[in-house]
Structure 1
Amino acid sequence: MPEVDPEDAKLITLARSARARTGAPEGAAVRDLDGRTYLAGSVALPSLKLTALQAAVVAAVSSGAEGLEAAVVVSESESVDAGSRAAVADLSADAPVLLADPSGTLR
């Protein structure tokens, strides 16, 4: 298993907590260029569906973030979907998107 940067480990913890708190299939956390963090769970309303990462990016943008340093998704899934990666890339083309399983282990 690769060693995780301490700041990215914090994102994993936050994403895990968002997933656990909401009971959502996914949790996500992002860190903006100022070091602020935003977290979210998946959104599945009749009129609005967002992945956890899309929701975390929305939270960052609505709070004034102009770019992202890193993003984490915690999920049972084996990959991060293209729409979620695109949301991160809209703010920062070079921000890493990490995927961890529900225990917090990077995939």
Structure 2
Amino acid sequence: MSDLSAEDHKLVVLARATRARTGAAHGAALRDLDGRTYAGATVELPSLQVSAVGVCIAMAVASGAKGAEAVVVLGADDPAAEDLAALRDFAGAGVPVHAGDPSGALKSTLIS
């Protein structure tokens, strides 16, 4: 994480804390164009399934955000193609998505 900006490091901390607090498979955090942050965890209910990134995007859209500067997602897997597509729908192409394990150790950066 040493090559991350201080603002992106904050997203890692938020995603890690949200995942740990909820015990979810994934935690995510998103920073919008105004610098506001949104953190979310995977939702797995019998009648509702939403990815952690999907939760963050939905919160940002519901708050009136016009785009995203960066996203962090922590869990065992890289972000799903559906999450990257939703991010492009919301914020356009070119948003960095930092992916890492549950502890917050980043393993890759994708561009939406």
Hey, what's the Cα distance between the residues in 1 that align with 2:29 and 2:22? 14
Aligned partner of 2:65 in structure 1 is 65
How many corresponding residue pairs?
106
The 8 Å contact of residues 43 and 52 in structure 1, kept in 2 or not, is answered as yes
Q: How far did 1:47 drift?
A: 1.6
Q: How far did 1:90 drift?
A: 1.1
TM-score by length of 1: 0.93
Q: Deviation per CA, 1:53-90, whole angstroms, max 9, x where unpaired?
A: 0111101111111100010101022x211011111111
SS in 1 for 2:64: coil
Q: How far did 1:48 drift?
A: 1.3
Q: Which has the higher strand share?
A: 2
TM-score by length of 2: 0.89
Unaligned runs of 5+ in 2: 108-112
Hey, what's the Cα distance between the residues in 1 that align with 2:59 and 2:22? 16
Unaligned runs of 5+ in 1: none
Aligned partner of 1:41 in structure 2 is 41
- Identity, in percent, stands at 50
1:94 aligns with 2:98: no
Misfit runs of 4+, over 6 Å: none
Aligned partner of 1:23 in structure 2 is 23
Hey, what's the Cα distance between the residues in 2 that align with 1:68 and 1:85? 12
Hey, what's the Cα distance between the residues in 1 that align with 2:66 and 2:48? 24
